[in-house]
Chain A
Amino acid sequence: GAVVSQHPSWVICKSGTSVKIECRSLDFQATTMFWYRQFPKQSLMLMATSNEGSKATYEQGVEKDKFLINHASLTLSTLTVTSAHPEDSSFYICSARNLQLAGVRNEQFFGPGTRLTVL
């Protein structure tokens, strides 16, 4: 149990285009999903917290108009990188909290990540 998928696993796009990344919890309900970004040789940095049915909470320094997050159901959150530029090239990883385990272990389950390259 507790499987999280991401799609696509990798994407290459031209500068100025928008890219949508999907994060799905496959076998559990996730009221909260998190979006992280990881640049080469650096650790994961939280971008935003996505709560089902409400607006996402963005971390300081993350532009909410550039990184659009939608969490329309308990199993799906999407991150759209709008007008992507080469500096947005990174490894984007989502995670989800299991509703049933929340508060017990505070564990998050990670998706396999999406590698974005903007030319």
Chain B
Amino acid sequence: RKEVEQDPGPFNVPEGATVAFNCTYSNSASQSFFWYRQDCRKEPKLLMSVYSSGNEDGRFTAQLNRASQYISLLIRDSKLSDSATYLCVVSNAGGTSYGKLTFGQGTILTVHP
């Protein structure tokens, strides 16, 4: 089983749509959670951190359920510029693994006019 699993998609949605991505992780000791976006042939860029209380940044809402080891990202009112690969990322804590990021395989989103 992969440490971080995502639905690879692709998701093809029209502008203005709401789209949700899901992610599960296997290591219950994981401490930090993030969503990154990666554009084609570019480096990943942090979209937002994910907290147990849930957090929102404009059109983006992230949720974390530690009991289910489940992370989600909701994008409302999709824009063409949202087209990218969205990476679910988990960081394990403790000892030498502190700070190590484990990436999911990414979910491809294409927003069309």
Residues of A within 8 A of B (CB): 32, 34, 42-46, 49, 57, 91, 93, 95, 97, 102, 105-108, 110-113, 115
Contacts and interface: CB of A to CB of B under 8 A. Distances in A.
B99 A102 contact: yes
A49 B100 contact: yes
Interface stretch (B44-52, B58-66, B67-75): B44-52
Given A44-B103, A106-B32, A108-B101, A93 B91 contact: no
Which interface class (under 10, 10 to 19, 20 to 34, 35 or more) fits B? Answer: 20 to 34
B99 A32 contact: yes
A47 to B, nearest CB: 11
Contacts, number: 49
A44 to B, nearest CB: 5
Chain B binding surface SS class: strand
Given A113-B42, A115-B41, 15 more contacts: A34-B99, A43-B87, A43-B105, A44-B44, A49-B96, A93-B43, A105-B32, A106-B31, A106-B32, A106-B91, A106-B99, A107-B49, A110-B44, A110-B45, A111-B43
Interface of B: 31-32, 34, 41-46, 49, 87, 91, 96, 98-106
Contacts of A32: 99
Contacts of A115: 41
A34 B49 CA distance: 19
A91 B42 CA distance: 9
Contacts of A44: 44, 87, 103
